[in-house]
Amino acid sequence: MTTYRHPGTVLTDHTFAVPLDHDDPGGEQIELYAREVVAADHADARLPWLLFLQGGPGFGGPRPVGRQDWLDRALDEYRVLLLDQRGTGRSSPANRHTLGRRGDARAQADYLAHFRADSIVRDAEVIRRALIGDEPWSVLGQSFGGFCTVTYLSFAPEGVREAFITGGLPGLDVTADDVYRAAYPRMLARNAQYYEAYPGDVERVRRLAAHLRDHDVRLPGGGRFTPEGLQALGRVLGVGGGSHQLHYLIEDAFAGDPGGSELPDGALPDGFLFDVAAHLTFAAAPLYALLHEQCLGQGFTGATRWSAQRIRAEFAEFDPAEALDRDAPVLFTGEMIYPWMFEADLVLRPLRETADLLAERDSWPDLYDADRLRANDVPVAAAVYHDDMYVEREHSLRTAGSIRGLRPWITNEYEHSALRTDGVTVLDRLIALARGNA
C-alpha cells in the first residue's frame, strides 16, 4: 500500500484480487484498485467506512484533490473508499487492446458478461471482508452506482449499514425498451427547453446538420461526423449548465462569421471538431458503450437488441433527415448508445462484433430481488431528481415504494449531477433522512 497526503486528507492505494466469475472462485482472477481517503485530522481514528459507487457504467472512481465536493461532508465522519469498478481506472482494464487479447468476439462478450452490477457488488463484498471483516459499511451510489446499491440491498444487505442513493433508483421490473420509451419523451422536453433558451440555435443546428449530411466531415480520430453524431452531443443537456455548454460548442462551429449564422467556407473549424471528438469518444469509458443497455438486462427481459436504436424509430421527431425536409428543429438525443458509434469511434471500432453479441445475449441473471427489498431493514435515503434526464422519475418512484424503509427526497432543485455540483448539501440531506433526522 502507498500512502500520500493532499491538503486536509490522507490517501492510501489498495489493490485486491477477485474472481472474474464469483461462481468460480478458483478460476481466473482480476485486480481491483480502490483509493482510501480520510481527513488528515482523523487519520488514526477508528471511523466507519463509506464505499462510493461511481456512475457509469465504465468510469473509474473520482480522483479528488483535498476535501472537494461531497467528500467534504463525508470526511467529517467516514473513512471513504473510492472504488475503480472492474474494468475501469486502475483496475484490470477492459478496452480494445486488452479485450483483443482474449480471443474472438464471442470470448470477449462472455468475458464482459461479468462486468455488471451483480459482479460489482460481489467485488465490494470481497473488499469489505478484506478491510473490515464482518462489520458492515455505508454505501453511497451515484447514478449507475445507485443501481449497484439496489443490487447490493437485494443480494448482500448484511454488508450494508446504511445506503445513500443519488439519481440512481432503477426500475425493478422494466425492460430496456421500457427505459427508452420513457427516455425519448424526456429528451423532447429537454430540446424544447434548450431551443427556448437559445432560439438562434434552431437554425444554427439545422445548418450544421445539413452540412454534415452533404459533406464527408471527419473527426480527429478519423470517424465521420454525421447528423446523428451531432444529435448525440445532447447527452450533456442533463447536467448542470449543460445547455450553456452545448450552445457554446455549437457557436464555435460558426467561428469566422461575425453574425454567427453562416458556416465558414470549406472545412469546419479544427477547434470545434476537436471539442466534438472529446464529447463523442468513449476512449475514457469503452465499457459505457459496451454495457450501457446490457446493465438493464435481467432474466425476464431477454436480449436488449440495440433497444435505443429500435425504439428511436417510434419517435419520428428524432430523424434528422425528416427534420431537415420538414424545416423542423433537429433534435438532440441523450445518453443512448447506437450501433453507428462503433464505426465512428476509433476505440470502439474493433469491438463492434462484440457489441452485437452482447446486444443479442438473452441469458442475463437478475439484478434485483423484489422480495428481499420489500423486507429490507437497512436504512436507505434516495434523491430522486424530478426532472432527471437520465433516469425515469416514475420508475424511480415505484422502486422507492418497493424498498421497505427507503426515504425518498424528491426535488426539482437539482439536475442529475447534483452530487458533483452541490455534493455537501445533497449528502448531508441524505444522511439526515436515512437516520430519521430530516
| Catalytic residue of the set 388, 395, 396, 417 | 388
Residue with cell 448508445: 337
| Catalytic residue of the set 114, 292, 395, 416 | 416
Residue 92 annotated to the active site: no
Quote the CA–CA distance of 306 and 356 in Å, as a whole number. 8
CA distances from 318 to 223, 227, 230 (A): 22, 11, 12
- Using alpha carbons, select from 85, 77, 70 the residue that is nearest to residue 120: 85
φ and ψ at 78, to 5 degrees?
-120, 155
| Catalytic residue of the set 91, 92, 119, 143 | 143
- Using alpha carbons, select from 113, 99, 114, 144 the residue that is nearest to residue 352: 99
CB 276 within 8 A of CB 249: yes
Residue with cell 487492446: 97
Q: Residue 273 corresponds to which cell in the numbers above?
A: 471538431
Quote the CA–CA distance of 90 and 169 in Å, as a whole number. 27
Residue 369 annotated to the active site: no
CB 234 within 8 A of CB 333: yes
Residue with cell 427556448: 196
CB atoms within 10 A of CB 111: 20
Residue 416 annotated to the active site: yes
CB 373 within 8 A of CB 404: yes
3-state class of 425 per DSSP?
helix
Quote the CA–CA distance of 360 and 340 in Å, as a whole number. 16
CB atoms within 10 A of CB 48: 14
Residue positions annotated with a catalytic role: 143, 388, 416
